[in-house]
């Protein structure tokens, strides 16, 4: 499996285990000690109410966040927040009772008794069986509080540098909007099987929007960078590349012609274009959708669902990446899970309870937005592995088609895989060469249907720059996507011009 680190500083991306205090000890000290509690108090509540339950856990979380925003040449806003609390879960069969509190205290812990009572008195009993205690997850991230470790002047200085670079690069820049922020999260979970796990999770994010004005016509472009790193990520090279991407997108829109419409070959660029794979295929491979048989991939393990040469992986263990974890929000160590191998569906992404109901193994994909939400099967970093073709060779194989390098909003129906995505960066392909930039292009298709139509997989694998968020059932979590350049033989392109 391809392993890529976004961060230039490997010790922050994945520090050596002997340099990081136990994540459990660090989380216990940060979350429980201020309330006069220890891990034993959590386990005591579980032990008192486990009779008649199939599963139970107590999740504790604390998050410190900060962000700054530049607009119209100056720092306009700054925001700092702290949040945290308990999430208490009791499971009997397919019935889950969940309670949460924003206050970490003995009294809040006692709410577990109510959750256990509700789970025991509702629904039919369907035993999920014994759940094996996993090996301790290796800590991946340094325990330093990245929010407080860097002076405010250094953070706002990055924003001012972005404004300076953009305005120097193009006289048509009317405005630059940039935000920089960081989260520092500590989590701790105690489970019914006696296992306790913890994680320290840093996150930094930079977003840049430039507005160009050419004779009254305005166009915008966007760039982003981020990951589970400290602010050392935002060196001069990363700042310049992020500004350059935003400018290039806006400049391309000023020169763009109307996109063609029709059915044609489409070449999808590497990196962020993997968002289509994430949405149109990835969600359909999450375990709960398949247990409930509402996914287009339900019951198809062992079948050829994609073209030969297509391998899709979800990996939560890639150093520094936005979707990476030491352990998931149920305490299962992060890992790499092959979902499709050489076109054959090999399995699904699972959390603990769903895995047991399906007689499968947890894959480290139990995730939640916060302590106030129950976990469910979610993606981490989902991508297609590299193939053998050069990107230029793939483009040269298309006589008349579209090259889609970047995407904005989209919609997907998980039950059938139908999707619609708008292209934020696209060009015509004519006679095997990239031609004019186009605007207003949309890609319309069906995830399961296009996978067998992937005829060429490039060797230029890349992950996205670190800006992805994924929504499911009202919960949002950070994720990563990626892929090499690929060719889909036939896709429907929506546009205003005739092909």
> pLDDT tens across 353-367, in order?
999 999 999 999 999
Q: What is the C-alpha separation between 487 and 310, in angstroms, rounded?
A: 11
Q: With bands split at pLDDT 50, 70 and 90, how would you rate the model's confidence at 135?
A: low
pLDDT of residue 413: 87
Q: What is the C-alpha separation between 385 and 382, in angstroms, rounded?
A: 10
Q: With bands split at pLDDT 50, 70 and 90, how would you rate the model's confidence at 349?
A: very high
Closest to 132 measured CA to CA, from 352, 301, 341, 288: 352
**pLDDT, average across residues 331-336:** 95
**Phi/psi of residue 96, nearest 5 degrees:** -120, 130
Closest to 329 measured CA to CA, from 129, 58, 51: 58
**pLDDT, average across residues 148-157:** 94
3-state secondary structure the chain: CCCCCCCCCHHHHCCCHHHCCCHHHHHHHHHHHHHCCCHHHHHHHHHHHCCCCCEEEEEEEEEEEEEEEEECCEEEEEEEEEEEEEEEEEEECCEEEEEEECCCCHHHHCHHHHHHHHHHHCCCCCCCCCCCCCCCCCCCCCCCCHHHHCCHHHHHHHHHHHHHHHHHHCCCEEEEEEEEEEEEEEEEEEECCCCEEEEEEEEEEEEEEEEEEECCEEEEEEEEEEECCCHHHCCHHHHHHHHHHHHHHHHHHHHCEECEEEEEEEEECCHHHHHHHHHHHHHHHEHHHHHCCCCCCCCCCCCECCCCCCCEEEECCCCCCCCCCCECCCCCECCEEEEEECCEECCCECCHHHHHHCCCCCCCCEECCCCCCCCEECCCEEEECCCCECHHHHHHCCCEEEEEEEEEEEEECCCCCEEEEEEEEEEEEECCEEEEEEECCEEEEEHHHHHHHEEEEECCCEECCCCEEEEECCEEEEEEEEECCEEEEEEEEECCEEC
Q: With bands split at pLDDT 50, 70 and 90, how would you rate the model's confidence at 498?
A: low
* Percent of the chain topping pLDDT 90: 79
pLDDT of residue 134: 53
Q: What is the dihedral of CA 136, 86, 356, 113, to 10 degrees?
A: 120
What pLDDT, in 10s, does the model give residues 154-206? 999 999 999 999 999 999 999 999 999 999 999 999 999 989 999 999 999 99
Q: What is the C-alpha separation between 290 and 194, in angstroms, rounded?
A: 29
Q: With bands split at pLDDT 50, 70 and 90, how would you rate the model's confidence at 427?
A: very high
374 pLDDT higher than 50: yes
Query: Computed from CA positions of residues 446, 449, 451, 453, in that sequence, does the dihedral angle turn out positive or negative?
Result: negative
Query: Which residues are bridge partners to 478 per DSSP?
Result: 469
Q: Which two tokens stand for residue 283?
A: 């969600």
Q: What is the mean pLDDT of the chain?
A: 90
pLDDT of residue 369: 97
119 pLDDT higher than 90: no
**pLDDT, average across residues 336-361:** 96
**pLDDT, average across residues 318-334:** 95
Q: What is the C-alpha separation between 189 and 32, in angstroms, rounded?
A: 12
**pLDDT, average across residues 17-24:** 58
Q: Is pTM beyond 0.75 here?
A: yes
Q: What is the dihedral of CA 401, 403, 407, 412, to 10 degrees?
A: 40
Q: With bands split at pLDDT 50, 70 and 90, how would you rate the model's confidence at 85?
A: very high
Does residue 94 contact residue 126 with C-beta atoms inside 8 Å?
yes
**pLDDT, average across residues 104-122:** 85
pLDDT of residue 12: 32
Q: With bands split at pLDDT 50, 70 and 90, how would you rate the model's confidence at 118?
A: confident
pLDDT of residue 14: 41
pLDDT of residue 1: 40
pLDDT of residue 416: 86
What pLDDT, in 10s, does the model give residues 265-286? 999 999 999 999 999 899 999 9
pLDDT of residue 257: 95
212 pLDDT higher than 60: yes
Domains, the chain: 10-255 (3.30.2290.10), 258-498 (no CATH)
17 pLDDT higher than 90: no
**pLDDT, average across residues 22-29:** 88
pLDDT of residue 3: 39
């Amino acid at each position: 499996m391809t392993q890529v680190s976004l961060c230039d500083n490997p010790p922050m991306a994945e520090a050596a285990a002997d340099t990081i205090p136990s994540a459990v000890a660090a989380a216990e000290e940060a979350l429980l000690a201020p309330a006069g509690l220890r891990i034993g108090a959590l386990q005591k509540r579980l032990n008192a109410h486990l009779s008649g339950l199939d599963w139970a856990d107590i999740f504790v979380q604390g998050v410190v966040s900060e962000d700054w925003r530049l607009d119209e040449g100056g720092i306009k806003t700054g925001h700092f927040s702290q949040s945290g609390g308990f999430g208490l879960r009791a499971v009997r069969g397919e019935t889950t009772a969940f309670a949460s509190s924003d206050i970490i205290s003995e009294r809040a812990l006692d709410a577990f008794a109510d959750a256990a009572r509700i789970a025991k008195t509702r629904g039919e009993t369907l035993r999920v069986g014994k759940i094996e205690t996993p090996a301790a997850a290796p800590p991946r991230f340094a325990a330093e509080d990245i929010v407080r470790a860097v002076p405010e002047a250094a953070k706002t200085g990055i924003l001012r540098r972005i404004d300076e670079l953009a305005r120097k690069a193009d006289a048509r820049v009317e405005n630059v909007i940039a935000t920089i922020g960081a989260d520092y999260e500590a989590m701790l979970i105690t489970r019914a099987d006696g296992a306790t796990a913890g994680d320290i999770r840093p996150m930094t994010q930079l977003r840049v929007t430039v507005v160009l004005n050419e004779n009254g016509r305005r166009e915008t472009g966007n760039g982003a960078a981020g990951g589970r790193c400290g602010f050392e990520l935002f060196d001069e090279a990363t700042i310049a590349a992020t500004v350059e991407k935003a400018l290039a997108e806006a400049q391309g829109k000023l020169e763009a012609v109307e996109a063609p419409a029709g059915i044609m070959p489409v070449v999808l660029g590497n990196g962020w274009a993997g968002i289509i794979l994430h949405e149109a295929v990835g969600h359909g491979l999450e375990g709960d959708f398949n247990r409930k048989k509402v996914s287009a991939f339900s019951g198809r393990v062992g079948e050829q669902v994609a073209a030969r040469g297509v391998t899709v992986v979800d990996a939560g263990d890639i150093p520094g990446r936005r979707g990476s974890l030491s352990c998931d929000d149920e305490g299962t160590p992060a890992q790499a899970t092959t979902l499709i191998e050489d076109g054959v569906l090999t399995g699904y992404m699972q959390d603990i309870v769903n895995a047991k109901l399906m007689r499968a193994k947890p894959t480290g994909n139990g995730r939640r937005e916060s302590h106030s939400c129950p976990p469910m099967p979610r993606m981490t970093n989902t991508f297609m592995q590299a193939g053998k073709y050069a990107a230029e060779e793939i483009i040269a194989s298309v006589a008349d088609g579209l090259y889609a390098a970047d995407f904005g909003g989209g919609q997907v129906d998980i039950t059938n895989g139908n999707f619609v995505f708008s292209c934020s960066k696209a060009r015509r392909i004519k006679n095997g060469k990239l031609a004019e930039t186009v605007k207003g292009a949309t890609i319309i298709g069906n995830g399961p249907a296009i996978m067998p139509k992937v005829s060429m997989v490039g060797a230029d694998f890349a992950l996205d720059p670190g800006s992805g968020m994924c929504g499911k059932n009202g919960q949002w979590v950070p994720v990563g996507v990626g892929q090499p350049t690929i060719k889909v033989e036939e896709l429907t392109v929506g546009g205003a011009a005739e092909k």
